């Protein structure tokens, strides 16, 4: 979008380098304009510049100065406009896969492309949050990493919105969720598809990917530091048991706490080369019990509420293979509801049947 400098505002993002009389750029693409930089443009007699159609805070930029929440057509010209979540989600995964392959070849992270692939699926998913919690159904062994990144981004967006984030910050935390594993491109790819347990040496290398991801993003001026911190901290835990720094609760940014929960949850429910997926209910139970004290309680409660909204009347498969329907959920035992067995119409209380758990939503 080419705009006269009199129509620019703080927060505009340059989409192309700005040149004066020198062959060296006066300002680089992806620079976020502030009042000082706007004055510099005027001082160098620059009449027009190219800017992104959105501001740094995630809102659409209108040349007349009006700020409106962006529509799909304004922010995502490269992706076909659609209100079908599955289509938007698959488009996002395919686009992310291409970017991942480009990063492996040494390409730099292009935030405008990240926004273009993410925002349509995020906006539609926030309108239909139940769809966000079904994305694990699309994952396959050979492309789990791309699905994992996009799905974790959407869960991050859901948690951010549920925790009261503004639209701009909701998109920013979703970007953090998406970019957490970009550093995996700097690691031996065979480690990621290995069907047996990693060796200590291999796992040590894997544990460096948050650092690699942070380094890939650290010089992108259009990216908030909160996003970079979220990326760096997505494997940290409140009790200090995480990596790469072993940071504890008061050292973690809220973006890091959200990304940590989103990635942990999505890893549990998705098919992986070395293990089978678990049901959202089983994953939630593990996060609330076995992993207690490691994840932010506010975010965990929002995840629980989001999952439980889907549950009444849901058909499930139990761990013993029987098909059942959820008929009632107690607040104290959200992962162990009353269920009705399909064949016999017997009512079971899973809180009384500790050897059983919900294996799969069907």
- Give buried/exposed letters for 37-66 (b at 16+ CB in 10 A, else e): bbebbeeeebeebebbbbbbebbbbbbeee
Does the domain at 79-308 match CATH 1.10.3210.10? Answer given as yes
pLDDT of residue 58: 65
Q: Could you report the per-residue pLDDT of 302-324, keeping only the tens digit for each?
A: 999 998 876 778 888 898 999 99
Print pLDDT tens along the chain (362 aa): 889 898 898 888 898 889 887 778 889 888 889 888 998 898 888 989 999 877 776 666 777 544 444 443 344 444 445 678 999 999 999 999 999 999 999 999 999 999 999 999 999 999 999 899 989 888 766 688 999 999 999 999 999 999 999 999 999 999 999 999 999 999 988 878 777 778 889 899 999 999 999 999 999 988 999 999 999 999 999 999 999 999 999 999 999 999 999 999 999 998 776 667 788 888 998 999 878 899 999 999 999 999 887 677 888 889 899 999 999 888 788 889 899 999 999 999 999 998 898 887 77
Residues with Cβ within 8 Å of residue 174, at least 6 apart in sequence: 118, 122, 153, 154, 156, 157, 160
Separation of first and last alpha carbons in the chain = 46
What is the per-residue DSSP string for 42-62?
A: HHTT--EEEB-SB-TTSPEE-
Q: Do residues 112 and 153 touch, judged by C-beta distance below 8 A?
A: no
> What is the pLDDT, as a whole number, of residue 266?
95
Residue boundaries of the structural domains of the chain: 1-68, 79-308, 315-361
Q: pTM for the complete prediction?
A: 0.78
Q: Which of 24, 25, 3 is nearest to 12 (CA)?
A: 3
Would you state the structure tokens that stand for residue 134, as one six-digit string?
């079904």
Answer yes or no: are the C-beta atoms of 85 and 121 closer than 8 Å. yes
Which pLDDT score, from 0 to 100, does residue 205 have? 93
Residue range 1-68, CATH number: 3.90.105.10
Beta carbons within 8 Å of 197's beta carbon, 6+ residues apart: 274
- Of 346, 301, 37, 362, nearest in space to 164 by CA: 301
Q: Is 138 exposed, middle or buried (0-12, 13-18, 19+ CB in 10 A)?
A: middle
User: Quick one: tokens of 65?
Assistant: 């100065």
């Amino acid at each position: 979008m080419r705009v006269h400098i009199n129509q620019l505002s703080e927060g505009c993002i340059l989409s192309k380098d700005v040149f004066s009389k020198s062959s060296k750029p006066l300002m680089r693409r992806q620079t976020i304009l502030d009042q000082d930089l706007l004055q510099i443009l005027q001082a160098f007699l620059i009449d027009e510049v190219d800017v992104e159609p959105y501001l740094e805070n995630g809102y659409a930029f209108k040349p007349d100065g009006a700020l409106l929440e962006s529509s799909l057509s304004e922010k995502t010209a490269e992706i076909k406009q659609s209100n079908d979540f599955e289509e938007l989600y698959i488009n996002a995964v395919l686009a992310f896969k291409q970017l991942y392959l480009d990063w492996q070849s040494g390409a730099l992270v292009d935030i405008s492309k990240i926004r273009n692939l993410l925002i349509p699926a995020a906006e539609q998913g926030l309108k239909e949050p139940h769809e966000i919690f079904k994305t694990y159904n699309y994952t396959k062994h050979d492309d789990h990493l791309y699905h994992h990144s996009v799905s974790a981004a959407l869960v991050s967006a859901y948690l951010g919105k549920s925790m009261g984030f503004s639209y701009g910050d909701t998109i920013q935390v979703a970007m953090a969720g998406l970019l957490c594993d970009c550093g995996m491109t700097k690691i031996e790819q065979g480690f990621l598809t290995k069907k047996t347990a990693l060796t200590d040496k291999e796992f040590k290398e894997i544990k460096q990917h948050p650092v690699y991801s942070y380094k890939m993003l650290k010089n992108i001026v259009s990216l908030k530091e909160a996003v970079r911190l979220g990326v760096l901290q997505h494997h940290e835990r409140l009790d200090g048991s995480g990596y790469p720094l072993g940071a504890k609760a008061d050292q973690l940014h809220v973006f890091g706490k959200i990304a940590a929960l989103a990635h942990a949850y999505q890893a549990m429910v998705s098919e992986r080369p070395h293990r089978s997926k678990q049901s959202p209910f089983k994953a939630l139970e593990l996060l609330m019990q076995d992993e207690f004290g490691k994840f932010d309680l506010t975010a965990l409660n929002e995840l629980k509420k989001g999952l439980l909204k889907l549950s009444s009347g849901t058909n499930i498969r139990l761990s013993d293979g029987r098909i059942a329907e959820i008929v009632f959920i107690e607040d104290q035992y959200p992962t162990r509801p009353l269920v009705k067995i399909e064949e016999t119409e017997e009512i079971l209380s899973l809180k009384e049947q500790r050897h059983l758990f919900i294996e799969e939503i069907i």
